[in-house]
Structure formats: C-alpha cells, structure tokens
Copies of this chain bind each other. A is one copy, B any other.
Amino acid sequence: MNMLFRVRRIGTTSIHNQVREHIVAAILGGSLLPEQKMPSTRELAISLRVSRNTIVQVYERLAADGYLSVRDRAGYFVNCEAKTGWVRPEKKGQQPPARQSVWTRKLKFHPSRQPYIRTPLNSHSYPYPFIYGQTDPSLFPISEWRECSRLALARSEVLEWTGDAIHQDDPTLIEQICSKLLPRRGIIATPDQVLITMGAQNALYLAATLLASSKTTVGIENPGYSDIRNAFIREEARILPIDVDAEGLVIDDRLRDCNLVYLTPSHQYPTNVTLPLHRREALLASAAEHDFLIIEDDYENETNFVTQPIPALKSLDEGNRVLYASSLSKSMFPGLRIGYMVGPADFVAEARALRRQMYRHPPANNQRTTSIFISLGYYDSHIRRLREALRERWGMMKEALAEFIPEASTAATAGGTSFWMQGPTSLDAQKLADAALARGVVIEPGKDLFYGSHEPSNFFRLGVSSIPTDRIRPGIEILGKTLRSI
C-alpha cells in the first residue's frame, strides 16, 4: 500500500488534518479496502517524515470516528463499516449528455440568453482590474469577522440558530438593522416590516415575482440594472425604459403608464448620479396621482465622497408606495449574500411566504455572525475605513481620467465605486475592452445595460473598488493609449 503523499509544511492545513484527509479519501475512494491493515504509526511517521505522535493522534481520532478499528497487538485496520450506506451504480454506462439535452428543449425560457455585463471571472489575475462589484479583500476586517464567527459558534448561541427557522429571520439581526442601519438612511421600521434576503438582488427578485406579470408595465432607468430588468421580463412584464440625465431618472408624463417603477436614487446604476430632492418629491407625487408603486434600490448609499448622503426615498414615503432594498454584502464581502427589504408589513409577509418556497431563509449562522458584527460596532468602523479608502481611489481615478482619457466624458457625481464613461460616438467599447484586456486592463463595456431599439456601443464602466491604489494611474494611462490605438 502506498500511503506516501507530500505533506505541505507551509499553508493553513495542519499536518494532522492533511494526514487525516488523505487517509479518509483513500478509504472512501476505495484505495484502502475494508479490513485492510494500516501501516504502523512508526512506519507511516517515517515515510511521511512527520512525528509519530501526530500519526498516533490521527489514528486514534479516525478510530473514534469509525474509519479505523483497532485490534489489540495487531494494530489498526480499515473499519469494514466505514462505508456503510454506500451503494454502487446499478448499471454502468450513464450516457454522456447529448449536445442539447431533452431538458433544455423543454425549458419555458432560457435565462442564460438574457443580456448582462459579463466580466472575466479571473479578473483579479490581471494587473489592472477596473471592474465593478468586487471588493478589495485587503480592506475587509477579517480578524473582527473571525471573532464574531467564533462568538456565533459558542454552544449557547448555536442552540438558537441550528434549527430550521422555516420562515423566520434571526431576531437579533432584524433588531440591529432597525436600530442601527435604517436610522442612518432616515427610515423608521418595525421588525415585521423587514425581511432578510440573499443580497439586495434577492429582495428585488422577490418583489418582481410577486408584482410583475403580463399585465404590468414597469418603468426602469435606461441605462439601468440589467439583472432586475431580466427578472421583470421573465415575468412577462412590459418594460418602459425611462431616460436618465445628469440628475438621474427623468420624471415626466411617461410615468403615468407605469404600474411599477424601479430606480436607484442614491447613486444611479450605472451613471452614479444622485436623484435630487425635488425629483424625489415629484416622483412620489406622481406615484400617488397615477397609482403606481416604487421599488427603491438603495444602491451604494455609503459611498458619497463629495456631499453628505441624502436620506433614502423611503424616508419621504408618506403614502407607503416605496419598497426599499439594500445590501450588507457589498460593504462587507459580496460572497456573504445578506441584504434586506423594508416595506408594508402585509407585503413583507407575502415576500416571506414566497421566500419560504424559494429557499426558506438566508443561512442562520451568517445572520447571527453579521448581527454580532454590527452590534460590536465593527460594521460601522469598517464602513468608515472603506469610505476613506474608496474616496482616495475615486479621487485618483478622477484625476487620472482627466489627464489620460480627456476624450471620454463622465457625469459629475458625488461618489460611487465606479465611473460611467461615454467614449467618442464611433467607439466600439467591446473592441476597446478586448484590446485593453490584452494589455492587462479589465474594463466593462456598457451596451447590455441599455434597453430599447438603439443600444449605444460607446459606453463603458470603470470600477475602483477592487484595484489597488497604486495601479490606478498606470492602468488608466494604458487604457488611454489603447483607446487612441484602436
């Protein structure tokens, strides 16, 4: 039996765990057979060049866990019960799937064919990743998160959250959101008006599923967030694209035809302009007059660098016509997937019932860890540091763009984590993106964010949230040269 494998001395997996993992894989994978005698602890220690004590501990633990059995004086053997419950395929020859399976022929729609911004998945391996929506892991307070995770895993806490919560949220997280996060956006809400979701995206998806149908006309910003537009289209709603100018969504008579309006007033996606107070009031007046509902995606509300943030649209909402969605993932780490919606309690109850069918609830351990992270004030201090770091990058970016790419224009904004660039009319931003990528610069062409008969090709987006500060100037310089070379 060959038990040799390379023990890594560097890295995060302990030698104990490496040896354990290797033996378990050999047993489950069948290269160690039931009843087979294991090498003695001395032999294995010598061949792997690790301490004998480590091997003794691994064997003892594996015996306690039922992988090995120990026989007096004869040593350790693979437990014949270790694979109890395993079965082998009844028949051989599960066919490789045909090029198109019978399944895709029977789909009622093809979500993969809907347009959205496609970013190279390995964008961080390029030197100049000007991409949006990713965070810089070096800004994330990992030791604080680790502490909160440890606290959430204390036995007394665990008893509270391991069960199937069915449709409930962690009441401690709801409390933190109501008492610490919503007040700074000017929103007062009771716990029954709040639902935890898998990121803001999921809050929007739930709302679209509940409200949109072939009888619904939905007003959306143009350009705008393609993923929510896709969700409305999936529900067969009629899409009414509404122009965005230097002040955001244009409020005019076209809103009259809408049943629902979706917008991003804090920083319009993708132009980053902020909807001023007079437009917010006009929008709410129009909603009351024409009986439409509003979905507010309070996107990047933490990233105002020039002016003070202005309150959420929801804080002005005396007629209860605004459903509010926001995210914690973006400011913490996107992989966390925690967001929330705030709306009338009866609507939130329906969204909760739909969420129950969809996936029950966001994972309880993450809800509890996040709740502790906020309650200890780590969220707040993280946001402050993040804002400082982003403000610096945003300022450098503004300067670099003025210096190296003066031929492209961008709207005056109060912040955000990206710049929405309008190139010369003749520009094909996809070609620019391809040429830039070959030089190590990742940018996102903006065509798929437009909706309608004429989608301009000369827009692109440059994100600043994940590129290291010292790469901004050289990256923009290369991009400027690339732009002039194509």
The residue on B at minimum CB distance from A83 is: B184
A106 near B259 with CB under 8 A, answer: yes
Q: How long is the Cα–Cα vector from A192 to B114 in the complex, in angstroms? A: 20
Q: Chain B CB within 10 Å — which of A29, A85, A212 has the most?
A: A85
Any B CB within 8 A of the CB of A365 = yes
A453: which B residues are within 8 A, CB to CB? Answer: none
Question: A363 contacts B363, CB within 8 Å?
Answer: yes
CA distance A89 to B184 in the complex (A): 8
- Given the interface contacts A108-B212, A336-B365, A346-B97, does A162 sit within 8 Å of B140 by beta carbon? yes
Interface flag for A347 (CB, 8 Å): yes
Query: Of residues 15 to 36 in A, which have CB atoms within 8 Å of B's CB atoms?
Result: 17, 20-21, 24-25, 28-29
Q: Once the chains are docked, how many angstroms separate the CA of A187 from the CA of B94?
A: 9
Residues of A380-405 at the interface with B, using a CB-CB cut-off of 8 Å, are 380-381, 383-385, 387
Residues of chain B with a CB closer than 8 A to A227's CB = 356-357
**CB distance B104 to A347 under 8 Å?**
yes
Q: How near does chain B come to A394, taking the closest CB pair, in angstroms?
A: 15
Protomer copies: 2
Q: A149-B149, A162-B333 are in contact. Are A358 and B202 (CB under 8 A)?
A: yes
- Interface pair A106/B211, CB less than 8 Å apart: yes
Q: Which A residues from 311 to 341 make CB contacts under 8 A with B?
A: 311, 315-321, 323, 329, 333-337
Known: A102-B320, A344-B103. A359 touches B29 (CB 8 A): no
List B contacts of A199 (CB < 8 A).
359-360
Bound CA–CA A357/B163 (angstroms): 28
CB within 8 A of A360: which of B161, B198, B363, B366? B198
Chain B residues whose CB sits within 8 angstroms of the CB of A17 once the complex forms: 151, 376
Q: Which residue of B lies closest to A95 (CB)?
A: B318
Contact B111 A186 (CB under 8 A): no
Q: Are B153 and A111 in contact (CB under 8 A)?
A: no
Q: Is A350 an interface residue (CB 8 A)?
A: yes
User: Could you tell me if B158 and A137 are in contact, using CB atoms closer than 8 angstroms?
Assistant: yes
Q: Interface 1/0s, chain A 134-174, versus B by CB < 8 A?
A: 11010010100110011101111111011111101000000
Q: A46: CB under 8 A from chain B?
A: no
Question: Quick one: which of A65, A187, A309 has the most chain B CB within 10 A?
Answer: A65
Given contacts A153-B142, A163-B124, contact A103 B377 (CB under 8 A): no
